[in-house]
Amino acid sequence: MRKLLIGLTLAALAVPSSAALPVGAKAPDFTTTGARAGKPFKLNLNEQLRNGPVVLYFFPKAFTEGCTLEARAFSEANAEFRKAGARVIGMSADDLSTLQKFSVEECRNAFPVATANPAVIRAYEVALKQKPELTSRTSYVIDRDGRVAFVHSDMNWSEHVQRTLAAVKALK
């Protein structure tokens, strides 16, 4: 009954989404390169989930206005995500060298950002309609079991942090 209530609560937080992965779907595992605090590393989703839920947020392009503001907002809220037991990971189609700079300058060393290659973009169905080589602005909360617990897809960055943090807190 508790899981049903949590699912209903999380569903109530969601807004209609163009993302294809529905709440309850198994999140596709992937391995890619990323950067945290300017240092490159390999990122594997299943390994990240061993430590608790993951907020996997896709953004179109590093150093653009909306993506910069979103990254700063996630960095400012990172301690709250950690307190709630979740890790934040940013994903875009940018190359590793761009993400290394972005992880320091805009993510403020708070969380990793990683390259969403074409296979990841397809698996999460986050291709930007106007430019399919880029990702849409879509945030997923993936529970420890690897299931999508929440989806928010909106090109306006302003509610992604608030909505994903509420969804993470609702998991407890």
Q: In whole angstroms, what is the distance from residue 38 CA to residue 108 CA?
A: 10
In this prediction the pTM is: 0.88
Per the CB < 8 A criterion, the answer to whether 64 and 72 are in contact is no
Q: What is the pLDDT of residues 131-165, one digit of tens each?
A: 999 999 999 999 999 999 999 999 999 999 999 99
List of domains in the chain: 2-171 (3.40.30.10)
For the chain, give the mean pLDDT: 90
